Amino acid sequence: MSLILFAFVVRVRDGLPLSASTDFEHNKELQERKQQLRTISKSLPRLPERGTVKGQKLNIYFVSSEGVSYMSVCHSSLPVAKAFCFLEDLRWEFTACFNSTVISLAARPYPFLEFDSTIQKLKQQYNQSGGPALEVTLAEVQEDLRIRPPQLINSDEVELTNGTANGHIEQAGVNQRLEPVSAPGILSLVLNIMCASLNVIRGVHLAENTFQDDFEGIWNVAAFLFAFVCCALQCHLYLFHSSLKKLKSFLLLGVIVLCNLYLLGLRNIWQLLFHISVASLSTSLTLTRRIHHRTDDCGV
């Protein structure tokens, strides 16, 4: 069983991926840890030089030095000292191949893909022999860890810090991908668009008559138009992720119900039930549509 599953090299100042090991394993937790690597890499300027993020069976270890961070995903059974020894060896190999000027000028992700072969050799060495070739190296790392132990990082705190530091927690949510639209979702969108169209047509038609009759029934016009806006917002809320989704969903549903109850004299009971049922269906599907945890593939 491989103890070191994945290695990742990034630039500290902006989290730009410089190189990564080829990914041959695709278990669920590994993909989750790789996603966490992406998040952590964006927060490196605010994190200590050395840290650990613990998972169920897989842990993340990282070391930052001279503007570059060396990160790995390792099995929890691998001793911490050996994990950081691997990162130190990785650091030495990388600095021997690429100088600071080339690293600072890199403008695109993964500009040093050829370094993957070196990472694979190091991984193979550690996975097969269980550690570095020189025991003195391991002893030095163990002593260094005893003096300066790595900080345990909470991944949830890193995600919050990353969003706050960039000033767009709301925007970060909006950019998240939701699960694919389902068949009931498509039906809900079609029905919602139909209800919105009926509301705006009735509202505009009633407005023409109202303006000719000294504005009698202006609140009926407002109710139709409010219902139209809420139907459109329900479609948007279903299609795109938003913070406070539950609160917004129930608020829109409540406004649609109130508007339709107010229009009871202009709509029969079946029309009323139809509009409220469509709004309820849309609310239910919006609340049950989850974020699609698509893993950004850090591998090559």
3-state secondary structure of 78: coil
| Residue ranges of domains in the chain | 4-167, 183-288
pLDDT of residue 174: 37
Which of the pair, 175 or 199, is modelled with greater confidence? 199
Instruction: Say what the pTM is.
Output: 0.54
**Span 224-228, mean pLDDT?**
91
Strand order across the 68-75 sheet: 17-20, 4-11, 68-75, 58-65, 50-53, 151-152
Residue 233 amino acid letter: L
The rounded mean pLDDT for the chain is 82
Write out pLDDT tens, residues 81-128. 888 999 988 999 999 999 989 998 988 988 998 898 899 888 888 888
Give the pLDDT band of residue 170 (cuts 50, 70, 90): very low
CA–CA distance, 124 with 118 (Å, rounded to integer) = 10
Q: What tokens does 289 get?
A: 């549509």
Q: What angle do CA 35, 36, 40 make, to 5 degrees?
A: 125
Contact status, residue 39 vs residue 155, Cβ threshold 8 Å: yes
Strands 58-65 and 50-53: antiparallel
3-class SS string, 234-266:
HHHHHHCCCCCHHHHHHHHHHHHHHHHHHCCCC
Which residues in 92-183 belong to E strands, given as ranges?
151-152
pLDDT of residue 41: 87
With a CB cutoff of 8 Å and minimum separation 6, the contacts of 46 are 161, 165
**Span 243-266, mean pLDDT?**
89
Contact status, residue 59 vs residue 4, Cβ threshold 8 Å: no
Burial 18-34, CB ≥16 within 10 A → b, else e: bbbbebeeeeeebbbbb
In angstroms, the Cα distances linking 214 to 205, 206, 209, 217 are 15, 13, 9, 9
pLDDT of residue 22: 79
Q: For residue 77, is pLDDT > 70?
A: yes
* Local structure of residue 47 (DSSP, 8 states): S
Give the pLDDT band of residue 177 (cuts 50, 70, 90): low
pLDDT of residue 191: 93
pLDDT of residue 175: 45
Q: What percent of the chain has pLDDT over 90?
A: 26
Q: 63: part of which helix (H) or strand (E)?
A: strand 58-65
Domain 4-167, CATH class in plain words: alpha beta
